Copies of this chain bind each other. A is one copy, B any other.
Amino acid sequence: MQELKPPIIILNFKTYQLATGGKAVKLAKIAEKISAKRGIYIAVAPQTVDIYRVSKSVKIPVYAQHIDPLLPGRNTGYITAYAVKSSGATGAILNHAEHPLLINQIEEAIRICRENKLITCVCSRTYVSSRSLAVFKPDMVAFEPPELIATDRSVSTTKPESLRMAIEGVKAMDHSIHVLCGAGIRENSDVVAALKLGAEGVLLSSGFVKARNPENFLKKLTEELNV
């Protein structure tokens, strides 16, 4: 498994039909191929139900899109860190704008993920909350203004000042936390702009999943990112 180091790309499959079941496996293999070609860290976050299938098919990191902050036990229908880890996940996205958590759930989920050796990427909607979330020491904070999600306006080019403040806020709290940005990432220039501002990676979804040619998309997106 590759080491978590910038530039970091996390591909969120959400519940898109184009990224379900066999199609999730296919997209993950594309990500694996580009990851090898570029020598950069690319993780995929398929739906919970596809984690096993995807993690058996690729060697790149597989993240859960969400974890409920619960230990194994009753909890019918919930998603535990223990179970996704057992199925091959090595990380988890938490508090995505589409799946927000209570502040105490976030604290608890990060703790439980750590105990289960799952890397955590906590999403934030504002630069202030990016800093607040850094207090819980996740491995990554991904700053994603909700109003840009699934648009073609990227946070790094549309809100550079907010991104810069998110990065500063997180790093002031704990320099080892990686700051990613998300929402509206469509082109290589969006990623380059993000890295120039000090971000260490990007979280993206529809740009990749819905691309006419996801392989070409990802190849272009990751051009000349590596040093």
Contact = CB atoms under 8 A, between A and B. Distances in A.
A66 interface: yes
A68 to B, nearest CB: 9
**Max chain B CB contacts within 10 Å: which of A15, A74, A128?**
A15
A102 B104 contact: no
A102 B87 CA distance: 29
A80 B16 CA distance: 10
Interface string A114-156: 0000000000011011011101100000000000011000000
A66 B72 contact: no
Given A15-B72, A76-B14, A107-B129, A53 B98 contact: no
Interface in A6-65: 12, 14-17, 20-22, 47-53, 64-65
Chain A interface category by residue count? 35 or more
A216 interface: no
Q: Is the interface of A mostly helix, strand, loop or mixed?
A: loop
Contact of A66 (B20, B51, B77, B128): B77
Nearest to A131: B135
A15 B87 contact: no
Interface string A56-100: 000000001110001011111111101110110000010111111
Nearest to A146: B104
A197 interface: no
Nearest to A95: B103
A106 interface: yes
Contacts of A21: 83, 86-87
Contacts of A15: 70, 72-76, 78, 80, 82-83
Given A16-B74, A49-B49, A107-B132, 7 more contacts: A20-B86, A47-B79, A48-B77, A53-B87, A128-B135, A128-B136, A129-B136
